[in-house]
Amino acid sequence: MPKYRKTALIEATQWFKSGDHPAVIKYDNRNGIIKGIGPYGWVDTLEGGHIVSPGDWIATGVTGEHWPIKPSIFAKTYELVEETN
């Protein structure tokens, strides 16, 4: 099976609480219990909204879209790029 490498640079911020990222709003869970660590956030993505848990990374793509990434996946998929002037 062919393999592909991601080639676009993204911006990402680790989210822990309200106010950490402007795209994440407070999530009000009125429908029961969800697993994980709370309090939660909510981010709209191209595929619909997603719950954000403390510690999740919020990525911003090349067209300004956002999506959450679990810390374990982020660590395996992305590496910090040192910017040069």
Say what the pLDDT of residue 81 is.
Answer: 87
What's the structural domain count of the chain? 1
Inside any domain, residue 3 = no
Residues 84 and 12 sit within 8 Å (Cβ to Cβ): no
pLDDT tens-place string over residues 8-61: 888 999 999 989 999 998 887 655 556 555 688 999 999 999 999 999 999 999
What range does the domain containing 62 cover? 11-77
State the Cα–Cα distance between residues 58 and 29, nearest whole angstrom: 20
In which region does residue 33 sit, left (phi positive, over 0), alpha (psi from -120 to 50) or beta (all else)?
beta
What pLDDT sits at residue 45? 94
pLDDT of residue 22: 94
Residue 85 lies in a domain: no
Question: Residue 83: inside a domain, yes or no?
Answer: no
How far is the CA of 33 from the CAs of 38, 56, 84, in angstroms? Answer: 10, 19, 46
38 domain-assigned: yes
Residue 59 lies in a domain: yes
Q: What is the pLDDT of residue 5?
A: 78
Report how far residue 48's alpha carbon sits from residue 67's, in angstroms, rounded to the nearest whole number: 10
36 or 75, which is more confident: 75
Summarize the confidence of residues 65-84 as an average pLDDT: 91
